[in-house]
Amino acid sequence: MSHTHEAGWAHAAGALRGPSWLRQPTDVDALVPQLWSATASKDEAGVLSVGGVPLPALAAEHGTPAYVLDEADFRARAGAFRDAFAGYGVYYAGKAFLCTAVARWIDEEGLNLDVCSGGELAVAERAGFPMERVGFHGNNKSTAELATALRVGVGRIIVDSFDEIERLAALTAETGTSAQVLIRVTAGVEAHTHEYIATAHEDQKFGLSISSGAALEAARRVLAAPGIELRGLHSHIGSQIFASAGFEVAARRVLRLHAQIATELGVTLPEMDLGGGFGIAYTTQDDPSTPATLASELTAIVDGECAALGIERPHLSIEPGRAIVGPSMCTVYEVGTVKPVALDGGAVRTYVSVDGGMSDNVRTALYDADYSCTLAGRRSDAEPVLSRVVGKHCEAGDIVVKDEFLPGDVAGGDLLAVPATGAYCRSLASNYNHALRPPVVAVRDGVARTLLRRETVEDLLSTDVGDL
Ligand SMILES: Cc1ncc(COP(=O)(O)O)c(C=O)c1O
């Protein structure tokens, strides 16, 4: 295909290149290994298999769209965090993705579980997850949720406000129970995708500010409440973070507060949680650290600061979600329509519509997230064209993959697979346009099994009780 423009060929070609980081691949059918789960591979015919299961066969049996979860890869990533952070508490952040099977895998791999709602707690309970290894988060836990947490005996509650401390104190007194708590503090470090900005501005709903004195006051109040035992401080600076510098600033501030609590309130807290947020690769642009590197960096940061303050290192914990489940899952879609759209400068962008979209992956629309994709059912020798993979919803922003080179002969009926959709895709999925949320199918050693089934029209209609 050739395009002419009065500004010259490079003008149109520039628009065709997509974002500056996106390179036209030499082999458009090849997988970029760091974006895929460990067992993903393509055969000579271009058929993509995960966990020994060819995706065309999986799609034929389970339909599309479908989330495909590579069990061996998930367990390996969980195990890598467990081993690299030996001596830490490692809490899998269930908000990234949770179902009863995954809760069991987390238990079997020896990790703890972080939940942040009564619903996630119910999944953990249904899975038989040991409650003493559950941490309960949330900036607005209801009294009912706190009562459930006390009744089932969750190991720790991460308190996030003065109101919550009051509610928890009242509940423990009322029910004759006790709670171990961490205080979620705001360290004044705002972390964004590829950068961090150390700032005194703490304009957000989570945590109690260190700089304003609210966090110290919270410690004072928890220590004064008879049914609540203060175990430590908790700091989570954000998500999809690559630079350890953000953690360093936060750890320094949190450890200073930890030391201040010891000197001013006379209590040496035994624990500290550094949160999650470790970045993964969504595109060739992302270069995540291994758990081993993260562990040595975080430990060195904390040890250095403890030495400077002349204090003992508290028992540390972390809460990775995305870095465990994110790369373990991909989504397989079927292509419906293909539409070349003329752009300024004579360029053309090929819109490839798939049978899902923002209802199964809202991250692109919500966070301007980048993804990649590949043809999953066949090889193609066609020239790669700059494509945009879009969904079927009634929003122009219903984009799954903003920019990717796909073979120019992609057509209705082709299967496309998007890697790294394990975190915050199914868990943020919606029924927008009354879409049926797709199944999560686990694959391992050539066997596919449904963990979450596809929703049905009956599921949708079951909540519509009408006015009859
Ligand atoms: C308190 C807390 N811990 C852990 C996480 C997990 O973050 P990630 O999935 O990026 O590792 C989050 C994510 O929002 C969080 O808010």
Q: Which residues contact 462 (CB under 8 A, 6 or more apart)?
A: none
- The CB of 277 under 6 Å from ligand 1? The reply is yes
pLDDT of residue 468: 66
Residues of the chain with pLDDT > 70: what percent? 93
- The CB of 137 under 6 Å from ligand 1? The reply is yes
Average pLDDT of the segment spanning 147-157: 98
Report the amino acid identity of residue 274.
Answer: L
Residue nearest to atom 10 of ligand 1 (CA): 277
- Measured on CA atoms in the order 369, 96, 460, 63, is the torsion positive or negative? positive
- The CB of 169 under 6 Å from ligand 1? The reply is no
* CA 160 – ligand 1 centroid, Å: 15
Higher pLDDT, 7 or 126: 126
Q: Which of 3-7, 86-90, 177-181 has the lowest mean pLDDT?
A: 3-7
| Nearest-atom index, ligand 1, CA of 275 | 3
Confidence band for 17, pLDDT divided at 50, 70 and 90: low
* CA 5 – ligand 1 centroid, Å: 47
Residues of the chain with pLDDT > 90: what percent? 85
* pLDDT single digits (tens) 53-94: 999 999 999 999 999 999 999 999 999 999 999 999 999 999
pLDDT of residue 7: 41
* CA 247 – ligand 1 centroid, Å: 13
* CA 95 – ligand 1 centroid, Å: 7
* pLDDT single digits (tens) 223-282: 999 999 999 999 998 888 887 788 888 999 999 999 999 999 999 999 999 999 999 999
Q: Is the pLDDT of residue 192 over 80?
A: no
pLDDT of residue 347: 84
pLDDT of residue 123: 98
Q: Which residues contact 263 (CB under 8 A, 6 or more apart)?
A: none
Confidence band for 3, pLDDT divided at 50, 70 and 90: very low
- The CB of 323 under 6 Å from ligand 1? The reply is yes
Q: Enumerate the active-site residues.
A: 394
Give a three-class secondary structure readout of the chain.
CCCCCCCCHHHHHHHHCCCCCCCCCCCCCCCCHHHCCCCCEECCCCCEEECCEEHHHHHHHHCCCEEEEEHHHHHHHHHHHHHHCCCCEEEEECCCCCCHHHHHHHHHCCCEEEECCHHHHHHHHHCCCCHHHEEECCCCCCHHHHHHHHHHCCCEEEECCHHHHHHHHHHHHHHCCCEEEEEEEECCEEECCCCEEECCCCCCCCCEECCCCHHHHHHHHHHHCCCEEEEEEECCCCCCECCHHHHHHHHHHHHHHHHHHHHHHCCCCCEEECCCCECCCCCCCCCCCCHHHHHHHHHHHHHHHHHHHCCCCCEEEECCCHHHHHHHEEEEEEEEEEEEEECHHHCEEEEEEECCCCCCCCHHHHHCCCCCCEECCCCCCCCEEEEEEECCCCCCCCEEEEEEEEECCCCCCCEEEEECCCCCCHHHCCCHHHCCCCCEEEEECCEEEEEECCCCHHHHHHCCCCCC
Average pLDDT of the segment spanning 162-189: 95
Average pLDDT of the segment spanning 341-370: 93
Average pLDDT, the chain: 93
- The CB of 236 under 6 Å from ligand 1? The reply is yes
Residue 19: cis peptide before it, omega within 30 degrees of 0: no
- The CB of 239 under 6 Å from ligand 1? The reply is yes
Tokens of 410: 């992609």
Confidence band for 18, pLDDT divided at 50, 70 and 90: confident
Average pLDDT of the segment spanning 345-370: 94
Residue nearest to atom 16 of ligand 1 (CA): 236
Q: Are 278 and 288 in contact (CB under 8 A)?
A: yes
Tell which one of 235, 239, 289, 316 to mutate to probe ligand 1, the residue whose CB is within 8 A of the most ligand atoms: 239
